[in-house]
Amino acid sequence: MDNRVILLDGKSLTLPQVLAVANNKQQVQICPNAIPGIEKSRAYVDKLVNDDKVVYGITTGFGEFSKVTISKDESAELQKNLLTSHACGVGRHLPHNAVRAAMLLRINALARGFSGIRLSTLNLMVEMLNRGLVPAVPEKGSLGASGDLVPLAHMFLPLIGLGRAYIDGQIMSGAEAMAKISLAPIELSSKEGLALINGTQVMTAIGAITVNDAINLMKLSDIAAALTMEALNGIPDVFTPMLHILRPHGGQIRTAKNMLKLLEGSTRTTKVHELRVQDAYSLRCVPQIHGASKDAVDYVLDKVLIEINSVTDNPIILADDDLAISCGNFHGQPMALAFDFLGIALSEIANVSERRIERLVNPALSNLPPFLTEKGGVCSGFMIAQYTAAALVSENKVLAHPASVDSIPSSGNQEDHVSMGTIAARKAAEILQNVKNVLGIELLCAAQGIDFKSGGNMGKGTRAAYDVIRKYCPKIDNDCELYPLIEDIAKVIDSGEIIKAVEEQ
């Protein structure tokens, strides 16, 4: 067996594996050890149907229609209608890596063996993923309970030859896409339509990618702050370890230690009383501010790691106990709260970064040339770059309003509390992009500020970061179009080159 293939059993998937499938198209396979459970669950569903048992979603309609009993002859039509009627999303299509991640997570959840799906159907889903079919999934329409009904319905329409999908970046009908990769659509059997769409996999996929990117942005935020410390002759005494042991929040302690490492060997920073008694909060409180956001990211990461190996189906099939129970594992509240928290934590990183940008460009707050240009008046320097950062920070404040505090009853008030978890995840992802650009502007401004000060050594970590920045973004002597520089630094951030260079030191 190819040891590069990821084996899915519903309980051992890791975040790096999710990212490998989402971003690098890693191949997957149902773990052989999971097959007996899948088949036992399916056999139990068949028994329920054959015995004419009344079980939600298997022999009844859905939501408010759970009061309507469905005959055995109507079972296949019921499952097809479930997908077609629920596929009513709107908006732009989700990014391909998010869709691939969501497909993976749904397959993994079904592989756990509590959903009643046929093994043949599950293997076909695996082949769709492995052969590069990416369903066209509109980003809007999910209430986050009963899971991600709308986007998951779109995701699996190609399985039955409907909907739309991308192959190699080209969009086409679901039937054409299946034919393109030499697969034949199927007719769903009892329970399978519900097994495909009852789950939190879309919100979790978006959130998993975002929390991974957030981990890297947390590292970058320390690097940006340390560069600004160099440009503004900051006072690193505030990072003395004992100060933070006295208030032992994990993120705070780690950040203080990290800042000292980044600035190790610098002769551009100062001591207390040399130039001033203390720095502003945006410098002095970096461990407390960044650290709090890091602790929040750790919390969200923990929730994501739980959810990617959870059963979120409805009803859940407990074949060994002769039970099929319509419970609430599809409810996205655990993830909704976590992703709202993630958005808030990320927003704060941009908030404090923008304040450091202001200190870099404002001559009243620094000993640097106004707006980081020696030709003030004729040139505006980085004046308007701070505007952009401020605009992004302001937008984040709107986006950070928690989605999870809202709920709109649906399905005739049967589903009378919903999580809005997918909205929370999407907002967190959008906030992250804004934060990345704000940090990019700080990196550019800090490097420009450092260039105005001759003499003295930079820290080992800050020097490594500065060299990468200057490799792609030169010092600005005369006004020019700044947007290409901001785009370039964002690409450098995405590449991870700055973090890699610093960590090597």
Task: Please count the helices (runs of H) and the strands (runs of E) in the chain.
Answer: 19, 9
Task: Decide if 44 is catalytic.
Answer: no
Name the burial class of residue 71, with classes exposed (0-12), middle (13-18) and buried (19+) by CB atoms within 10 angstroms of its CB: exposed
Task: Sort strands 316-318 and 323-325 into parallel, antiparallel or unpaired.
Answer: antiparallel
Q: Are 332 and 149 in contact (CB under 8 A)?
A: no
Q: Can you state the angle between helices 460-472 and 201-231, rounded to 10 degrees?
A: 110
Q: What angle do CA 342, 346, 349 make, to 5 degrees?
A: 150
Q: Is 7 helix (H, G, I), strand (E, B) or coil?
A: strand
Q: Residue 390 is encoded by which pair of tokens?
A: 């401020």
* Annotated catalytic residue, options 56, 166, 299, 472: 56
Residue 476: half-sphere exposure toward Cβ, Cα within 13 Å: 29
Q: Residue 398 is encoded by which pair of tokens?
A: 């709107």
Q: Are 104 and 129 in contact (CB under 8 A)?
A: yes
In angstroms, the CA 345 to CA 26 distance is 31
Q: Residue 297 is encoded by which pair of tokens?
A: 């990211």
Task: Sort strands 133-135 and 164-167 into parallel, antiparallel or unpaired.
Answer: antiparallel
Provide the residue type at 140 as one letter. K
In angstroms, the CA 133 to CA 41 distance is 27
Q: Is 320 helix (H, G, I), strand (E, B) or coil?
A: helix
Selection from 4, 215, 5, 209 nearest residue 97 by Cα = 209
Question: Which H/E stretch holds residue 166?
Answer: strand 164-167
In angstroms, the CA 91 to CA 151 distance is 11
Catalytic residues: 56
